[in-house]
Amino acid sequence: MKLSWPPAAGKLLIGLKPSNQVLSVDNEQPVFDIMTMQQRLAKSVPSKFATKMSSQLTTAFNIWADRLLAKEYCGTVVAYNFNLYEHEGEFAIQLVGTSSFDISNEDWACDEVFSSGEDLFHLSHEIVGDQWERGLRTAKSLVRNYLDFGKHAAVLKGSRGVGVAFVDGSIDLVYVRRNP
């Protein structure tokens, strides 16, 4: 499969399938597979072009987040957390919505009312490295970028707070609404 970004003229992307394939509007057929794209980029893009690669990773993340945040959650979500997991050869990001938020007590992230479940965004170690600090830094950067430019950033900003954390680590708050 030949990879190109952005997609060819006339191909409008609508989101990712659970298998991380980006779909097109015209026939809902996979345009490309995110993991394949990330792996090929890691092998083919020299380090001096890391900014371009980062841009493509950001675009892929935004497509994933757009799809998840386009759904209505009946107003029960008070805050969001992007959970990070370390898998063999990659980090994975899961989005959860919670029914509580307490800046002084990180247990709020355990009060899930929504979860993307196994619909994860994958960060290949070949792209971001295998150190957990880099995985966390990359995830926070992707979420901050989404808060600034994402199609459904208002959904996140309408909550009381947004965090990013490994599931067994401390939560880094990347957004807290001033007047909750």
Residue 14 lies in a domain: no
Is residue 21 one of the residues assigned to a domain? no
In a domain, 36, yes or no: no
DSSP bridge pairs for 166: 84
Mean pLDDT by 10 residues, the chain (180 residues): 38 42 45 47 41 74 94 80 96 96 92 93 93 95 95 94 94 88
2 occurs within a structural domain: no
Which residues, other chains included, contact 148 with Cβ-Cβ below 8 Å and sequence gap of 6+?
none
Pairing of the two strands 90-98 and 79-87: antiparallel
Grouping H, G, I as helix, E, B as strand and the rest as coil, residue 2 is coil
Residue 41 lies in a domain: no
The amino acid occupying position 101 is F
How high is the pLDDT of residue 32? 45
Residue ranges of alpha helices (H) inside 86-177 are 125-128, 132-149, 153-157
| Whole-prediction pTM | 0.71
Please count the structural domains in the chain: 1
Within a domain: residue 32? no
In this prediction, residue 76 carries a pLDDT of 86
Has residue 64 been placed in a domain? yes
Q: Which structural domain range is residue 118 located in?
A: 46-176
In a domain, 13, yes or no: no
Residue 99's Cβ-side half-sphere holds a number of Cα atoms within 13 Å equal to 6
Largest Cα separation within the chain, whole Å, is 49
In the three-class reduction of DSSP (H, G, I as helix; E, B as strand; rest coil), residue 54 is classed as helix
Burial class (CB in 10 A: 0-12, 13-18, 19+), 51: exposed
